[in-house]
Amino acid sequence: MMTTTRPHTQAGSLNGLCIVDLTRVLGGPYCTQILADHGAEVLKIEPPAGDETRGWGPPFIDDTAAYFMGVNRNKKGLVADLSTESGQHFLRGLLQHADVLIENFKPGTLEKWGLGKDTLHEAFPRLIHCCISGFGADGPLGGLPGYDACAQALCGLMSVNGEKGGDPTRVGLPVVDMVTGLNAAIGVLLAVNERRASGKGQYLDISLFDCAVSLLHPHAPNYFASGKVPGLTGNAHPNIAPYESFPTANGELFLAVGNNRQFATLCRVLAHPQIAQDSRFIDNAQRLANRQALHEQLVQVLAAYQASELADELMQAGVPASPVNNVAQLLAHPHTSHRNMVIEHGNYRAINSPIKLSRTPARFRSLPPGFGEHNSEYAKE
């Protein structure tokens, strides 16, 4: 069941914060939607050709790709050609009243237009300038374009994602872009908080490369400690067993057994308590050393069970477990509705904010803007 959400006007925790958003595609728009959901005024300035994700479909909603619609709600839509003097003048007018500028241009682009970080800092000393890029502005890869899948490949994520004996595989969603957006939002809030004491803005350097590297847990710590290069393990965890998916009579079941108590409970619920007493499986170190034998035993036992029903029973008993749902099953799950994780407004449906504040919750205030929809409101700037 979908959750119907109507626009709200109640102020959020970031009410009064003005953000000029020059970002496109995903990392930047994901960042600014987080801030907009919590009350910031976000002015999304698109180039004359528009944010390219408006055309990344099908599917489309009223001629705009669902991809764009998923990360651009609660924003004002403006259009300006920043390569022209009039566009630069328009931007400077907006920055007179802005708290934050967020952009993801290739390093050097704003400098070419006379809007580099030093120029902006001199003109707007309280401005927080967040730059999202592929690799930062300098260094061996500095200034080069960055893309999520390439970052996954370069930074080791693909090397630990895939079935053992198979090929490295991209994570099936743009995890680097989205984590970069999250880190950018965190950085903006850190800088806003610091400005309360100093009265000064600062420059935030957020790169896909750095954010991808930061995701390598526990693989990087394991490598630092052992010198062993991590490899493909499929759904299995490198440090814990059993912590992977298993076939059942009607679908895949994921078990995430993190300690001996949970393992003993699992075996009891499965009516095979002797497995927990087997010396090969007596603790996590032994279960890891004998992972294949444990996997084979559990596969035999689980073949008699239904994934969803068993997952419910195990969770009630304190053992983390879940059926492997597809997207439709997840969106139809009653807990998704209970947690208000889907916004539905007319033909607009989207994932809601997961950040829940008791007094100033995230609010859906407006649909993703049409191309240049709000230019007339800001033309006087």
Which residues are marked as active site? 177
Closest CA to 239 of 214, 261, 267, 219: 219
Angstrom CA distances, 202 to 4, 115, 126, 195, stand at: 40, 15, 8, 9
- Alpha carbon distance 35, 1 (integer Å): 27
- Cα distance between residue 188 and residue 18, in whole Å: 12
Q: Which of 103, 104, 101, 203 is nearest to 146 (CA)?
A: 104
> If you search the block for the tokens 């764009």, which residue do you land on?
68
Cβ contacts of residue 196 below 8 Å, gap of 6+?
A: none
Are the beta carbons of 204 and 191 closer than 8 angstroms? yes
Maximal CA-CA distance, the chain = 77
Candidates 46, 36, 38, 30; CA nearest to 75 is 36
